[in-house]
Chains A and B, each alone.
Chain A
Amino acid sequence: GNSVTQMEGPVTLSEEAFLTINCTYTATGYPSLFWYVQYPGEGLQLLLKATKADDKGSNKGFEATYRKETTSFHLEKGSVQVSDSAVYFCALSYGGSQGNLIFGKGTKLSVKP
């Protein structure tokens, strides 16, 4: 079946460090891929998305590239801030009648000043 696997957390970084959170997926066909972020006590916010192979999604300094050959969608940011501390979820969806999001387990990021 379709699934998403994320690197286990928690991830602890110092401010201005480089961030990579690995995400790989198992799916047939060509799903859309997403990164969502959840701040403490809040719901999920869409961070970025990519809808086809080789697309790069980007937002607020975060980037991820849809790599079909490696079935990956790794999240990167060049310089993290304390305010980036949150839980990050990788997800996939086919849209239409299979539009539900399938999520990874989430990766908790803590950024220290």
Chain B
Amino acid sequence: KQEVTQIPAALSVPEGENLVLNCSFTDSAIYNLQWFRQDPGKGLTSLLLIQSSQREQTSGRLNASLDKSSGRSTLYIAASQPGDSATYLCAVRGTGTASKLTFGTGTRLQVTL
């Protein structure tokens, strides 16, 4: 059974700092990995999708890397802003077209002025 863990559970940084969020998973047989953002009481916004054959994906100030063999992914946020404050979730999808997403526990990020 796939298990996904995110460290740290919560993080507070001053505006402008670069930061790294970590995600680890126990079963390396994944199809892809997706990072999401969730604002309080809201749905999920997809940030980045990394296929199992890829090493990283970039979108604006966000960069996600994937090391499938070691069961790890990182989300790098450059020059953080107060608007980045949210909970960040990573989710891994197992192999097979009908496989489900398994979600991590999330990292709650607060960017202060």
A-B interaction: no
